[in-house]
A = this chain, B = another copy of it.
Amino acid sequence: MLEAVEAAKKISKSEFTKREDELRAKLLDVQFLLKDAKFPVIIVIGGVEGAGKSETVSLLNEWMDPRWIKTNAYGELMPSEKQRPEYWRYWRDMPAKGQIGLYLSAWYSQPLQQRVKGDGNENRFDAALSKISEFEQLLTDDGALIIKYWLHLDKDQQRKHLHALEADPATAWRIAGDAWENWHLYDEFVAATEHMIKQTDAPLAPWKIIDGAHDRFRSLAVGEHLLATLKAHLSREVKLPEVDELPAVSTEKNVLRSVDLDSRLSKAEYKQRLAAAQSRLNRLQQRAKRAGVSTLLMFEGWDAAGKGGAVRRIIHSVDPRQYRVIPIAAPTAEEHAQHYLWRFWQKSPLAGEMAIFDRSWYGRVLVERIEGFARNDEWQRAYEEINDFEQQLVDHGTVVCKFWLHISNEEQLKRFEDRAETPHKSWKLTDEDWRNRDRWDDYEQAVHDMVVRSDKVPWTLIAANQKWQARVQVLEAVCEQLEARLKQG
């Protein structure tokens, strides 16, 4: 595949200058249109050493307005990056809608190196490539345009390029320390690259292979392809996938029915179990801090179900240096210009830290579904996207506890009325709460679908008609999950 690519042609300086001038002007025009577009552009520049990756990145920054391009290049994981799942840094650097993110090698570099120079394990390579495909699909499903360039050289050309780059002090820095070592593994790299390109080529995230033997040819080939692709995408009619409504669930079969809302604790039992659980949690979190184990607690539930009270009982027993409460409201403008999962990725816990989400990414399949803020295809796709997000956290070693605080319809009404009547509680009750209450049945269906479909990392349903009962259940569940994780070491 890689040998079959169109061979670089010599291009005269005068022809290059002419085509470059034209290209620059048109790229700027397209970039200007792009600013109002509803999607981000992700450009991946990969390729063999010496084929002009860095030069291409510089050139694109020079040709276009660099204020709207964000260039991202990655080396070894930095300490702050190691504390989060592998893909955290790619999410962190994601361009907003209307912007261009230029990724040098990006998420491809590490799996390729691992395959050829690391353990060489083929299954692991394929798993890494599947993960890439899923990641890119999640982005393109959300509207992102991904364009991937592979700059190629044959083995002999690469040798010549490396020599030439090394000879000039102004370019020697472009050569990585292990460039020659890699050159000796040329055939292995090419075989792995061909496999990689085949596995990760997708209609909205295609690879374009370009011969990197001559600078002018390569520069124009990348630039002109990029221009054509951007133009095509800007004028593309987006055809939304058709999806069916999920089948309605009868009340009897709703998972919430399994929650025993009648269970009660006596005051004495509450005090005893609360104190025991708080003290246990404190000791466990101290161990987690030392072990660098991070914990993510996530609270969803009916309005007035007692999320705040449960959160307070948890933080009471944890060193303030070790927890962070993250209230989730409507996204800010900056967050809105990103994939809906972006803001949650940003806020995932550091090593040894406990991040407590008061509401969460499940807004996508609850309020956004019910209020129509997300299209049917968007929220239906979200179950899998969320499964995948949570799984990445768990794979990284994070303890993820997901709570739904369940109360009965009558109990909610009682609490709303109590809030309305008690002066210092009345601010807690808004018109929106009453509107949500009117849609109780819709929410009940949405909660069922959510718990059933996003269950890769399991939910804990909490009987919250009695607050004492709810708080103790939450605390004990956190302790159990944390303890089990710490036993694994």
A interface list, Cβ under 8 A from B = 24-26, 28-29, 32, 54, 57-58, 61-62, 65-69, 71, 73-75, 78-80, 102, 104, 169-170, 173-174, 278-279, 282-283, 286, 308, 311-312, 315-317, 319-321, 323-325, 327, 332-334, 358, 423-424, 427
CA distance A65 to B73 in the complex (A): 41
Cβ-neighbour of A75 out of B169, B308, B317, B321 (below 8 A): B321
With a CB–CB cut-off of 8 A, which chain B residues contact A68? 327
A384 vs B78: C-alpha distance in the bound complex, in angstroms?
A: 35
A58-B316, A327-B67 in contact; A173/B286 too (CB < 8 A)?
yes
Contacts of A282 in B (CB 8 A): 170, 173
Q: A61-B312, A74-B321 are in contact. List 8 more A-B contacts (CB 8 A).
A: A26-B424, A32-B427, A58-B316, A62-B312, A66-B325, A67-B308, A67-B358, A173-B283
- Residues from chain B with a CB closer than 8 A to the CB of A73 are 319-321
Chain B residue at smallest Cβ distance from A105 = B321
Contacts A67-B308, A319-B54, A334-B334 given: A170-B279 contact, CB under 8 Å? yes
- Chain B: CB-nearest residue to A45: B320
Q: Is B169 within 8 A of A279, CB to CB?
A: yes
Taking a contact as CB atoms closer than 8 A, the residue among B69, B174, B311 that contacts A66 in the complex is B311
Taking A325-B67, A423-B25 as contacts, is the C-beta distance between A54 and B312 under 8 angstroms?
no
A169 to B287 Cα, complex, angstroms? 13
Given the complex of chains A and B, what is the CA–CA distance between A173 and B279 in angstroms?
Answer: 11
Alpha-carbon distance between A67 and B75 when the two chains are bound, in angstroms? 36
A-B CB contact pairs (8 Å), 8 listed:
A25-B423, A29-B423, A29-B424, A65-B308, A68-B327, A73-B320, A104-B321, A170-B279
Establish whether residues A320 and B62, one from each chain, have CB atoms under 8 Å apart when the complex forms. no
Copies in the complex: 2
- For A174, give its contact among B29, B67, B311, B319 (CB under 8 Å): B319
A140 CB to closest chain B CB (Å) equals 24
Residue pair B65, A424 in contact (C-beta under 8 Å): no
A157 shortest CB reach to chain B, Å: 23
Q: A283 to chain B: which residues have CB within 8 Å?
A: 169, 173
Taking CB atoms, residues of chain B closer than 8 Å to A317 are: 170
Q: Which residue in chain B gives the minimum CB-CB distance to A25? A: B424
Cα of A288 to Cα of B304 in the assembled complex, Å? 56
**Contact between B427 and A315 (Cβ–Cβ < 8 Å)?**
no
The answer to whether B75 touches A315 (Cβ under 8 A) is no
Closest to A79 in B: B79
- Determine the distance from Cα of A29 to Cα of B428 in the docked complex, in whole angstroms: 10
Q: Which residues of B contact A311 (CB under 8 A)?
A: 66
Which residues from B are CB-within-8-Å of A323? Answer: 71
Closest 10 CB pairs of A and B: A25-B424, A67-B327, A73-B321, A170-B279, A57-B320, A79-B79, A32-B427, A80-B80, A66-B325, A71-B320
Residue of B nearest to A356 (CB): B66
With both beta carbons as reference points, the residue of chain B lying nearest to A58 in the complex is identified as B316
Minimum Cβ distance to chain B for residue A88 (Å):
13
Cα separation A65 to B425 with both chains bound (whole Å) = 11
Which residues of chain B are within 8 angstroms of A279 by Cβ–Cβ distance? 169-170
**Shortest Cβ distance from residue A363 to the other chain B in the assembled complex, whole angstroms:** 15
Which residues of B sit under 8 angstroms from A315, Cβ to Cβ? Answer: 58, 61-62, 66
Of the candidates B54, B57, B319, B424, the one whose C-beta lies within 8 Å of that of A28 is: B424
A68 to B326, CA, bound (A): 9
The answer for the CA separation of A61 and B62 in the assembled complex, in Å, is 50
Closest to A307 in B: B67
| Alpha-carbon separation in the docked complex, A181 to B320 (Å) | 23
Q: Which residue of B lies closest to A29 (CB)?
A: B424
Which residues of B have CB within 8 Å of A69?
A: 325
Given the complex, which residues of B lie within 8 Å of A327, measured CB to CB?
Answer: 66-68
Find chain B residues with CB under 8 A from A62 CB.
Answer: 312, 315-316
A337 nearest in chain B by CB position: B332
Which chain B residues border A333 with CB–CB below 8 Å? 332-334
From residue A93, how far is it (CB to closest CB) to chain B in Å? 10
Complex CA distance for A338 and B390, rounded to whole angstroms: 32
> Which residues from B are CB-within-8-Å of A170?
278-279, 282, 317
A104: B residues at CB distance < 8 A:
320-321
CA distance A324 to B101 in the complex (A): 12
- Scoring A28, A57, A283, A321 by chain B CB atoms within 10 A of each residue's CB, the highest score goes to A321
Cβ of A318 to closest chain B Cβ, rounded Å: 8
